[in-house]
Amino acid sequence: MLEFRMPSLGADMEAGTLTRWLVKPGDRVERGDIVAVVETEKSDIDVEIWEGGVIENLLVGPGERVPVGTLLATLRPLTPAAAPPPAPPPQASPAPAPQAAEPAAPKTPPQPAPPTAPPSTAAPPARATPAGPTPASSPAARARAAELGVDLTTLSGSGPGGAVLLSDVERAAAGAPTAAPSAPPPALLSPALPEPSPRDRAASMRRAIGAAMARSKREIPHYYLAAEVDLSRALGWLTAENARRPIEQRLLPAVLLLKATSLAVAKVPELNGFWENDAFRPGAGVHLGVAISIRGGGLIAPALHDADTKSLSELMAGLTDLVQRARAGSLRSSEMSDPTITVTNLGDQGVEAVYGVIYPPQVALVGFGRIRERPWAEDGRVSARPTVTATLAADHRASDGHRGAIFLTTLAAVLQEPEKL
Amino acid sequence: MSPDAIRDALFACLGQIAPEAEASEIDPGRSLREQLDLDSMDFLRFAVAVHGRLGVEIPEADYPRLATLESAIAYLGEKVGR
């Protein structure tokens, strides 16, 4: 039997509220499928499952808030092949109580999961169909549907359990007249739970950020370095490149900085990973956490996975998607749990430099200030060049200033050859 | 295309990016980025949305002309009129 537990979606998360299930007992899921939506202090997160299987029991109902690590569901493994697994072991009690559900926790009336699974022989592992007239949907899909005036009940979803995904909504909208632009968005259709008010969400986000940052300042011996980086070549190359691209495919300078950061950190691996149990654990791949400010307050730093191996176009598409989903509240669990280093870019706000607070258990944070023309001396001459101040805040337990300096020098060098990014 | 129609199209595009923005509160002569707290990603999405809605090509060098509502209406008026 496989166990699906409440994941840790960042150092600032201790518990999460299961907002809704996107699967039901008997559904077959693949690794990476989104099976549930969990609300944390910061955002709604689409939670992916890490192993494929057939859903057996859902042990926590919508609306229940449970600590990280609580068993949420059990699954039958898919292997071996298609052979029907043996009958579930006989239950001692005729009414097995879901062991993870806390007895005191209030149950919301429509408990989606009967505690007993349907017999495997009678339940072909087919994709689920929507359970009712209102299909399950991802938060991004709901937000986009409201924006576009698409009626979710008219859609058939292509997601797990027939869930309506963002792409389904966009497809439907493409074939339908768009709503009058000035019309107020229609109310979201029967969300599983009342949405928290923006003020509550902002207050709880502030608390979560405060707790994580206090822990960082208490536990992590930070050191800080800064370097001025000449961007004249990088931006010259970018201007020429963007002139060739249609507007939808143009790149932002931030994407060059992200790619350069990921290449440089791959050369100084002790900045890329986690400090856990008094030891450094290197990250498997460079998963760049990108600090994204939420309109109305707060911030969240989900991961761009394997940024060092992606092309600039792929990173731009990934960043655009991440920003939109961060603001719509539909990030995925993997994006929340595994950034190996974080980048914050406050250049748009006009600051010269940002000295960041490391997001535990990570060991480094890279900051960029505003790109602007400054006097630059080279070969005995002074000229005006676009430059940026790059900073590194790093954990002295995992690295020291010498290695940190190599990172910043490498970053600057990589940006002098933009065509290789 | 009339300036009013262009203005409506611009409001619709801004609504996608800054949903909380009130059209009536936007000062047409002031920077949109400043008033609506748009970052460079937001601004690029705005330009892409304008391109999609009005079907005009907007070279990167012309982005500054989208800076305020007033300048954007004048710029797009030239582009659409042609």
Q: Is A250 on the interface with B (CB under 8 A)?
A: yes
Contact A239 B60 (CB under 8 A): yes
The whole-number pLDDT of residue A14 equals: 82
Chain B residues with CB inside 8 Å of A253's CB?
Answer: 40
pLDDT digits (tens, 9 = 90+) for A199-209: 777 788 888 88
Q: How far is B46 from chain A (nearest CA, A)?
A: 11
Q: Which residue of B has its CA nearest to A323?
A: B41
What's the rounded mean pLDDT across residues B39-65? 93
| Smallest Cα distance from A165 to chain B, Å | 19
In this prediction, residue A143 has a pLDDT band, given cuts at 50, 70 and 90, of low
Q: How open is the CA angle A314-A316-A320, to the nearest 5 degrees?
A: 120
CA distance A18 to A78: 25
Q: How many CB atoms lie within 10 A of CB A90?
A: 5
CA distance A27 to A56: 8
Closest chain B CA to residue A238: B60
Q: What is the share, in percent, of chain A residues with pLDDT greater than 70?
A: 71
Confirm or reject contact between A249 and chain B (CB < 8 A).
Answer: no
> Do the beta carbons of residue B16 and residue B45 sit within 8 Å?
yes
Find the helix packing angle between B40-54 and B3-17, rounded to 10°: 140
Separation of alpha carbons A54 and A113, rounded Å: 14
Instruction: Provide the shortest C-alpha distance from residue A248 to chain B (in Å).
Output: 6
Say how many residues make up chain B.
82
Confidence at residue B66, expressed as pLDDT on a 0 to 100 scale: 95
Please check the confidence at residue A300 and state whether its pLDDT lies above 70.
yes
Among A107-111, A127-131, A337-341, name the most confident range: A337-341
A62 cis-preceded (ω within 30 degrees of 0): no
ipTM exceeds 0.85, yes or no: yes
Which residues, including other chains, have CB under 8 Å from residue A37's CB and lie 6 or more apart?
Answer: A18, A19, A20, A22, A44, A45, A46, A47, A138, A139, A192
Q: What pTM was estimated for this model as a whole?
A: 0.73
Q: What pLDDT, on a 0 to 100 scale, did the predictor assign at position A164?
A: 65
Outline where DSSP puts E strands in A171-221.
none
* Chain B positions in Cβ-Cβ contact with residue A185 (cut-off 8 Å): 19
CB A141 within 8 A of CB A164: yes
Q: What is the DSSP string of A227-278?
A: EEEE-HHHHHHHHHHHHHS-GGG---HHHHHHHHHHHHHHHSGGGSEEEETT
Whether residue B8 and residue A252 make contact (CB cut-off 8 A), yes or no, is: no
Query: Residue written as tokens 């009414």?
Result: A95
**A78-119 pLDDT per residue, tens:** 865 544 444 444 444 444 344 443 444 444 444 444 444 344
Query: Does B30 reach chain A within 8 Å, measured CB to CB?
Result: no
CA distance A84 to A65: 34
Please check the confidence at residue A175 and state whether its pLDDT lies above 80.
no
Report which residue type is found at A212.
Answer: A
Q: Is the peptide bond before A375 cis (omega within 30 degrees of 0)?
A: no
Residue of A nearest to B58 (CA): A247
B63 inside 8 A of chain A by CB: no
B62 secondary structure, DSSP code: G
